[in-house]
Each structure stands twice: as structure tokens, then as C-alpha cells.
Amino acid sequence: MAELLHDLIFESASRSPSQTALKYKSSTLTYAELAERTEHLSRALIDIGVEKQDRIAIYLPKCLENVIAIFAASAAGAVFVPINPALKSHQVSHILLDCEAKVLITTQGKCRALNAALGYCVDLQSVILTDGVDSEDVEMHAQRLIPWDELIASPLSSRVHRVIDSDMVSLIYTSGSTGDPKGVILSHRNMVTGAKSVAQYLNNGPSDRILAVLPLSFDYGMSQLTTAFLVGASVVLINYLLPMEVLNTLAQERITGLAAVPPLWNLLVELPWPAEAAANLRYITSSGGVVPVETTELLRQMLPKTEIYLMYGLTEAFRSTYLPPEQIEKRPTSIGKAIPNAEVLVLRSDGSPCAADEPGELVHRGSLVAMGYWNDVEATGQRFRPIPNRVDAIPGEEIAVWSGDIVKQDSEGYLYFLRRDDDLIKTLGYRVSPNEIEEIFYRSGLVSEAVALGIPHTTIGQSIVLVAIPKNGVEVTEKLLLDECKQRLASYMMPAEIIFRSALPTNPNGKVDRKQLALEIMESVSA
């Protein structure tokens, strides 16, 4: 059984070389073809100077090249850094600088948009363009530009890097309460163990056809690849604009498994499903937020033969819990119990276990716990902490991930999510830092105070509301402020509403009281 991430592909290629591994639009790759291209690119990366544990950033939409790049980086002994294609250039440059990326894999258009930012990326040596290199691009960039096809066609090098399962293989950037995204360090062991665990309770097998609708920069999105490749199943990639495209693809591709976030499920239940869409749909999963009970009930009615898995996870531990489908009718608001090969605890702040139905922090222990945050000792120490050693004879401490999420556990061991213990905004399946949004609006020069809040919303989780105090003497409207900032914020980070005030509530320390402000906003909406 595979122990390294790239072995998921190579072992399936050995077992079932002619089985379809990947499909995007009209292009398909068998496992043999995917393994061959992955092997070629991994050796080519080493030939252009990639050393063990070097970071390779991948800034692409879902496509065949994206998947090949991920597993080739792993096979080369490097660390892949998937970047959400929805991010703006300054957000991408932060990630490139923070992870000290040596190679960037992207498209001509995205490379040109990053032109100014790339000049500051002193560690970046090579940019691989999946759609070729133009002469004007060569003149624009200081980095070496390499066409993708040239690397894929290059002869196999004999040089390889030795890799073991405790080596890091990925940095997945997730928003933090301090503002800029933090890189969660994942090892081969983290990712392979996660794939084995999820495939076990979903009963994945070679006959599955999994539709990948989520960004591969999400651990949840990556999971669609790893679980499929572990068992030799097929993955269909899609970059959709309208939810109806998802339903049509379910029908056209005879999809058996679909993973999505609650906002997408909320939209899908409002649409007319083609008769063929559910014909082969064996299971669906939801994570990244709480699914409204009404949505779950509609899904059960629409998909009576489909198993529905409600799950909870965090990037720092991949996946933590799932609710077995047979429990949904009885416990529609539960996030279930721990997944295989993980233990989930509900602890008080002093580390002692909570009683049944007592709110406490969800703490995850086991081999899925990430290695920490890249180049951030302070944040790592806050989130990755020891748990009380229950066997005194074992020396040292065991590090677990303290999620910051408040849950409760009933007398039968089922968990229920209550709230987040920080200010992160959960919208459209994304975790968004208020500070990151606020900084962009401060840079406009139009406001003296800006506070981004997440206000509960029935379909998208939370709606982003910005409360701002205009600078003295500055006449500013909501449209003007949004126009100033929309080029610097991803679409899912844009406020749905801006409220102007002359003053903001503060706590005894003089800091803005976010909870009080959010309460005032919610009261004004309901009044």
C-alpha cells in the first residue's frame, strides 16, 4: 500500500494501467499515461535545479497539467504549493514570497498579471508556462521561462531524490486571524493517511467516477484526487460558472461521487435535476461549514438512493469527523464521530475532558495532524499544542491540533458544531480573514477605520459586511469604495454591503469590539 503521495498514481498504474485516471473536457489520461507524464515532469524538475524540499507553486485552474504538476512535485521530492486561481496578484505574491518558491507553474495570462510582483520574488528561478512561451514574455521576466511541453517531452534523467513519508510534501495556505494566509505544512504521511481513512468510510473503489468541483488549493478539493488515485478510481475535473453545469456533468459523466461545500448544496437543491444526474450517484459529501437542515432534508428527498455524508475538517488535520448516512434522519445537525485512524476530543481550556453536552474545544490527535505553520513559530505554538499524556511511562509530549472550534458531544459520542472561537469569516466554503479585507480598504486612503464582519446568511454561511468610518473631509460612497478595492480582492472576499458610521464600539482596552458591532448589525437587519 502506498506510503508516499505520488505512489498513489504509480501503484494504481501498476494494477490497472488502462483504467481512466483523469478527465478534463474532452481529454482523458489513463493511469499509465498519468504515471508516465508525472514521472517525466518530476525528473525534468530535478534537471532544472529543483532540490529536495524546494517549493513549487502551482497557480492554475483545474486541468490535467495542474494534477500532473502536483504529483510530479511530490515524486521529485519537492513541496507543491497550490494557489487558488481566484486570488489576485498581490495575494499570490505574498504566498510566493512567504514559501520562498523556486518554481512557479502557471499560464501566460496569469504570468503577465503577476509581472510586477514576480520582480520581488528573489527565490523564484523558473516559471513553467502550460500554454507555451512567447518572445515578449521572455523580455518581460527576470526568471527563466520554460514551456510545459518541452519539459514533458524531455528524456528521463537518472537523478532522483530519496523521500520518506515524514517529509513535507505540500504547503496549503489558509487564512489566519492575524491577516495574511498561513501555510499549513503537510507530510506524505498526512496526505496518504487521510486518503486511506476517507476512502475507507466512503467505500471508494475502482468503479467510482468522482467529480472534482472544488479548488485543488483546498485540502477538501485535493482529497478528491487522493482518495480516487488510492483505489484506482476516475476523476472528472470541472471549472464551472453556473451550478447547472455541475448537474449536467453528473449526468453526462455518470458520476458516482460528488463533494461540495454547503453554499453549493443550497443552490443545487433549488435547481431541476436532469433524470440521469442521480442515476449513478452513489454518495455525496459536504464539509466546509454547516449544511442547513432544510437543505439536508431536500437532498434526502431528491436523492433517495444516494448516501449523504456530513463531515467536518480543518486544513491543519485534513478531515476529523463524519456522520454515517444512516444517522442523518436522527441527528441532522451532527458532524458525527472521528474518522478512521483519528481521535477527536472535546476539551476545556485546561485540557480536561468536557462532560456530555458541555461546550468545549475540538482537539484532533493522530497521524493526520499537520506539521505546523510554515515559518510561523508563534502561530504554530498557539494551534499545535500538547495534550495531557494519558500514559505517564511514555516520555515526551504528543502534539495535537486545537481547532479553535467550539463543539459539544452527546452521551452517545456524536459531535455537534456550535461556533468558531475566532473572528474568521466562513463564506461560500472559504475561510476569510477580516484583517486581510480591512487592509485593502485601508490602502484606498478613503477610510480611517474599517471592520469586516461575517453576518449569518442562510445560503452562503456568512455574508461579509464592512463597517467603515470615512476619513475626515472625504466624501465616499459604497460604490466608490468597492470600485477602489475590487481589483485587489478575490470575488469571494468582496463585502456584500458597506455601512458607514461615525464611531465604532470599543472594549476596555480600546480595541474595536467586533462581537458588539456584529450584534448591532444583526439587530438592525432584524428590526
What are the grid coordinates assigned to 496, written together? 456584500
Mean pLDDT of 1-10: 95
Closest CA to 157 of 4, 74, 50, 33: 50
496: phi then psi, degrees, rounded to nearest 5: -80, -20
pLDDT above 90 covers a percentage of the chain that reads 70
Mean pLDDT of 486-498: 92
Contact by Cβ (8 Å): 164, 143: no
When the candidates are 3.40.50.12780, 1.10.8.60, 3.40.50.1970, 3.30.1330.60, the CATH number that belongs to 240-348+365-422 is 3.40.50.12780
Instruction: Tell me which of 88-102, 170-184, 363-377, 451-465 is least confident.
Output: 170-184
Instruction: Tell me which of 95-104, 125-134, 372-381, 509-518 is least confident.
Output: 509-518
Mind listing the pLDDT tens digit for each residue in 312-353? 999 999 899 999 999 999 999 999 999 999 999 999 988 999
pLDDT at position 527 is 55
Mean pLDDT of 416-430: 84
Mean pLDDT of 381-398: 85
* Top mean-pLDDT range of 41-55, 259-273, 407-421: 41-55
Mind listing the pLDDT tens digit for each residue in 41-91? 999 999 999 999 999 999 999 999 999 999 999 999 999 999 999 888 888
The mean pLDDT value of the chain amounts to: 92
pLDDT at position 83 is 96
Q: Is 200 exposed, middle or buried, given 0-12, 13-18 or 19+ CB atoms closer than 10 A?
A: middle
Asked if the model's pLDDT at residue 510 lies above 60, the reply is no
492: phi then psi, degrees, rounded to nearest 5: -75, -10
Domain 7-183 and domain 425-526, same fold? Reply is: no
Order of strands across the sheet with 27-30?
27-30, 20-24, 234-237, 209-212, 257-260, 283-286, 307-312, 321-323, 337-338
pLDDT at position 449 is 82
Q: Which has more confidence, 393 or 356?
A: 356
Instruction: Tell me which of 197-201, 403-407, 408-412, 445-449 is least confident.
Output: 445-449
Mind listing the pLDDT tens digit for each residue in 203-257? 999 999 999 999 999 999 999 999 999 999 999 999 998 999 999 999 999 999 9
pLDDT at position 509 is 46
Angle between helices 188-202 and 219-231 (to 10 degrees): 70
Contact by Cβ (8 Å): 197, 368: yes
Asked if the model's pLDDT at residue 439 lies above 90, the reply is no
Instruction: Quickly state the pLDDT bin for 507 (edges 50, 70, 90).
Output: low
AA letter at 265: W
Mean pLDDT of 160-188: 87
pLDDT at position 139 is 59
What are the grid coordinates assigned to 161, written together? 531524490
Give dist(CA 345, CA 358) in Å, integer.
12
AA letter at 304: P
Sign, Cα dihedral of 262, 268, 270, 275: negative
Please name the residues in contact with 268: beta carbons below 8 A apart, sequence gap of 6 or more.
243, 246, 247, 260
Asked if the model's pLDDT at residue 400 lies above 50, the reply is yes
Asked if the model's pLDDT at residue 179 lies above 70, the reply is no
Q: Which has more confidence, 33 or 133?
A: 33
Order of strands across the sheet with 179-187?
144-147, 126-129, 103-106, 55-58, 79-82, 168-176, 179-187, 372-373
User: Which CATH architecture does the domain made up of 7-183 adopt?
Assistant: 3-Layer(aba) Sandwich (3.40)
Strands 307-312 and 283-286: parallel
pLDDT at position 119 is 85
Helix, strand and coil percent figures for the chain, each rounded to 5: 35, 25, 40
Beta pairing partners, 310: 286, 323
| Three-state secondary structure readout of 83-109 | CCCCCCHHHHHHHHHHHCCCEEEECHH
The domain locations on the chain are 7-183, 240-348+365-422, 425-526
Contact by Cβ (8 Å): 344, 312: no
pLDDT at position 204 is 99
Asked if the model's pLDDT at residue 374 lies above 90, the reply is yes
Topology of domain 425-526, per CATH?
A: GMP Synthetase; Chain A, domain 3 (3.30.300)
pLDDT at position 68 is 98
